[in-house]
Amino acid sequence: MDARGVLDLLDLTLLDHNASEADLDALCERANEYRPAAVCVFSEHIAHVRARLDDDIPVAAVAAGFPVGESDPAAVSEAIRAAVLAGAGEIDCVLEPREAEDFPHEPELAVLIAMREASAGCVLKVIIETPLLDERSMRATARMALAAGADFVKSCTGKRGGCSDEAAEILAFEVMRHGITMGSHPGVKLSGGISTLDDVERLLELVNSEDPTIEGAGRLRIGASSLLDELIE
């Protein structure tokens, strides 16, 4: 895939609570010039970014805790609704793992339902911290998130490990499986440690090997903060 093709899938990311207005302005200038799929920021930066981005570039907000996700459904709902009111068109939200044999179970389902209800009308990307999970938990969490209505399952925050080849394959398979059984077509967001075009090509090849229909920004995203520099060289 060439650089333009990757840009079309890129969630250009700046997750820094201490980002200055100048930092955010520079992010928006680059986004307006290079046209990523979305710009991903913390909720407190939504209004500033939305006012400076071209109208056709969505703002994706990380809401309800990052990298550690909020576990109270009411708090999750409140945080997401605030992000939507501030102008977010997409929501990235962590489903926090529990160290328990029954993970994921009813507590996680309640959080996922809160995520989906609060983000109604927006794209919802559920962040599954795959570096912290074994294969069973990874698959079960992806299935639960998709069953609850997630538009994307996302590999990780990147703060507690990166996106492994295994995670990319498992998420793509579970999305494919969900499509066959439920008839809907959710997507995969790959994030965490993706900094080169070689990383992208390797991971996309793995996704494609599981389901070649997972393509285009409606079903495939790449989350990265430093990848743009390589793409525009």
Let me know if 72 is a catalytic residue: no
> Which phi and psi (to 5°) does residue 3 adopt?
-60, -40
Let me know if 56 is a catalytic residue: no
Crossing angle (nearest 10°) for helices 73-86 and 106-118: 20
Q: Say which of 92, 151, 199, 211 is annotated catalytic.
A: 92
Q: Say which of 151, 154, 199, 211 is annotated catalytic.
A: 154
Q: Which of 104, 125, 113, 129 is nearest to 187 (CA)?
A: 125
How far apart are the C-alpha atoms of 49 and 150, rounded to whole Å?
25
Q: Which of 154, 7, 149 is nearest to 67 (CA)?
A: 154
β-bridge partners, 91: 61, 124
Let me know if 189 is a catalytic residue: yes
β-bridge partners, 103: none
> Which phi and psi (to 5°) does residue 224 adopt?
-160, 150
Q: Say which of 11, 151, 189, 211 is annotated catalytic.
A: 189
How far apart are the C-alpha atoms of 2 and 54, rounded to whole Å?
24
- Looking at the annotation, which residues are catalytic? 92, 154, 189
